[in-house]
Amino acid sequence: MKVSKAQAQANRARVVETASTLFRERGYDGVGVADLMAAAGFTHGGFYKQFNSKADLMAESAACGIAQTVALSDGINIQDFVRYYLSRQHRDARATGCTMAALGGDAARQPEAVRATFAAGIESLLDALSHEAGESSEADPAQVRAESLSTLAHVIGAMVMSRACPDDSPLADEILSVCRDRLLASPSPSEEAGQDGDPGVGPL
């Protein structure tokens, strides 16, 4: 039976969303095409009707996951962002957490299209974080971007290190708490300009 264009698009979106979750949970090499399609409720043979290669799906699913993080981070207070990102809740929610922390290491060894998606995602996250931090008219845009990039690199690196430890390891929690406290103790660009950011909170 022929599938309508609208249904085909819905099926593709379902595969992308499923892949986004499974890749974050297991890594790119930990999920085969057959298992992925089965999890989405489709046959293995249907994959190549929708995607040219697994790499294409990797790039598209990464964009999907990053877009979710950007949407939930846009306008959030930087301190609330740090508090949630470096929380045990986020650490243990690998499948639904930040794609950058879950797959950044894997992406470095993938085709250029996948790495380009991650580069674009970093820019999107920087824009989202910089928007709140740069609300002060006195804040220097270059300084705001630099601070946002530093914060993003620190939280992602800390999350990767914490997840590399056993789940019951005291070190896993120590990494999160130490890095969280250090970042929260540092003044934001808006605070340095004499302005406080708007309060806000939300998951990634």
The confidence score (pLDDT) of residue 197 equals 42
Average pLDDT over residues 54-83: 91
The larger pLDDT score, comparing residue 91 to residue 72, is at 91
Instruction: Give the pLDDT score at 73.
Output: 81
Per-residue pLDDT, 140: 86
Distances (CA, A) of 181 to 82, 140, 178: 9, 25, 5
End-to-end CA distance of the chain: 40
Predicted TM-score (pTM) of this structure:
0.85
Q: Are 73 and 125 in contact (CB under 8 A)?
A: yes
All domains of the chain in start order, with CATH: 54-192 (1.10.357.10)
Mean pLDDT of 101-121: 95
Query: Who has greater pLDDT, 140 or 172?
Result: 172
At 188, the pLDDT band (50, 70, 90 cuts) reads low
Q: Confidence class of residue 89 from pLDDT cuts 50, 70 and 90? A: very high
Q: How far is CA 190 from the centre of its chain?
A: 24
Looking at residue 169, its pLDDT comes to: 95
Contacts of 184 (CB under 8 A, 6+ apart): 79, 82, 83
| Of 199 and 172, the one with more pLDDT | 172
The percentage of the chain sitting over the pLDDT mark of 70, rounded to a whole number, equals: 87
